[in-house]
Amino acid sequence: MDSVVNKGGYKAAVRLMRGPQVDLMVMPPGEAGTYRIHFTGSKEHNVRLRAMARDQGWSLSEKGFLRIGDDGEPLTGDDAELRTFATEDDAYAFLGLPFIVPELREDHGEIEAALAGRLPDLIDLADLRGDLHSHSDWSDGHFPIDVMADHARRRGYAYQVLTDHTQSLAIAGGLTPDRVAQQAEIIAALNATYAAEEAAGTAPAETPAEGFRLLHGCELEIRADGSLDYEDDLLARFDVVVASVHVSRRQSRAELTRRTLNGIRSPHVDVIAHPSGRKIGQRDDLDLDWDAVYAEAARTGTALEMNGSPPRLDLAVERARRAVSVGCLLSIDSDAHYIKELDYVRWGISQARRAWVTPADVVNTRSRADLLAWTAAKPERV
């Protein structure tokens, strides 16, 4: 903690060493429901709830519901009444609403959806069957292939996709076609070992019934001229291809959009990784024609990634919700370069929930067989 901003009998605010302010409030036992809604809901969400409460004869604050009179003021004396609730569920129910999860409390349509019984069944971490974007020390990752794969397997995944960079991204140690072939042999040997262990009953306890396999992919560079970094015959050998724009970011909107659409329209590109290319606090989004990107991704069935790396969180919430609304599929990935970064899918999930994303919207909630059937069908969709 850096400093105390203010303090009182039941409230305080402190500033942490790296800058964020944290507000603290003491809640009476058994009365946490309205306090939690107050602190997790946006200002706009809470204003809507207060308006609903007033329409029903109550004044709502974090402390609970106060009965109000015809003049709109809280009743006093023997007529005074304060209703408190132990849970958020009970507090919402008092207003005639079902429980609204914290991620949706932004006044972006959740109250209308709740009243109509149309709240989405949001994706959860347990829905992911695998991760489509990760790196090893063959490019710019920091751990060997087998180590990254073993940690993914122990997460209970049915698959992990190894997506080391391609040849033109020299700064990241991109792989030449010869190196791709060598990597494929290592992956095949690992998968043979996994199959043998599963057959012998010696696989990790977390291994799902369908088993675990390391899938061979790449993070394919879309070059400055719009061409793809590998020829089609090489791309066809991969299980999953994610494509991205890293260089020549200052091109015009038309050029950047054309490059992104070239990736989307490829019969071998399955996912567009971190589509906006942003790094929070470091570099701005690519200047894309987003409506064109969404439309073509939806038409071709190319997934747009929600990258969970904290500097990226890309797609952003607003774009992810828009993408799903026009029929796009998403993937939620870690973009892990270290073992511990496999956990970054949690951030992707948290952002996806804010974007109203359901399991059906995300390709890596599918079984391994269904995922591979989806990637194999890309040429037909294009």
User: DSSP letters of 338-382?
Assistant: SGGGGGGHHHHHHHHHHTT--GGGBGGGS-HHHHHHHHHTHHHH-
Task: Point out the domain boundary residue: 60, 88, 115.
Answer: 115
The pLDDT score that the predictor gives to residue 215 is 98
CA dihedral 292, 367, 141, 205 (to 10 degrees): 160
Residue-range definition of the domain harbouring residue 110: 31-115
Q: What is the pTM of this model?
A: 0.94
- Same-domain status, 213 and 99: no
- Same-domain status, 222 and 258: yes
Does any domain span residue 19? no
* Cα 15 from chain centre: 28
Does any domain span residue 56? yes
- Same-domain status, 111 and 249: no
Tell me the HSE value of 189 on the side-chain side, using a 13 A CA sphere. Answer: 8
- Same-domain status, 310 and 214: yes
- Same-domain status, 71 and 214: no
- Same-domain status, 334 and 223: yes
- The number of distinct structural domains making up the chain is 2
The pLDDT score that the predictor gives to residue 10 is 85
**How far is residue 55 from each of residues 59, 128, 250, measured CA to CA in Å?**
9, 42, 53
Beta-carbon contacts of 86 under 8 Å, excluding residues fewer than 6 positions away, are: 30, 31, 32, 33
The pLDDT score that the predictor gives to residue 23 is 87
Q: Which residues of 265-292 are buried (b: 16+ CB within 10 A; e: fewer)?
A: ebebbbbbbbbbbbbeeeeeebbbebee
- Same-domain status, 184 and 273: yes
- Same-domain status, 303 and 377: yes
Does any domain span residue 64? yes
The domain that holds 63 is classified in CATH as: 3.30.210.10
The pLDDT score that the predictor gives to residue 332 is 98
- Same-domain status, 139 and 81: no
Does any domain span residue 6? no
Does any domain span residue 120? no
Does any domain span residue 5? no
CA dist 61 and 25 (Å) reads 13
Does any domain span residue 14? no
Per-residue pLDDT of the chain (382 residues; tens, 9 = 90+): 789 999 998 889 999 987 789 989 888 999 999 999 999 999 999 999 999 999 999 999 999 999 999 999 999 999 999 999 999 999 999 999 999 999 999 999 999 999 999 999 999 999 999 999 999 999 999 999 999 999 999 999 999 999 999 999 999 999 999 999 999 999 999 999 999 999 999 999 999 999 999 999 999 999 999 999 999 999 999 999 999 999 999 999 999 999 999 999 999 999 999 999 999 999 999 999 999 999 999 999 999 999 999 999 999 999 999 999 999 999 999 999 999 999 999 999 999 999 999 999 999 999 999 999 999 999 999 9
- Same-domain status, 105 and 159: no
Does any domain span residue 16? no
CA dist 135 and 130 (Å) reads 14
The pLDDT score that the predictor gives to residue 18 is 78
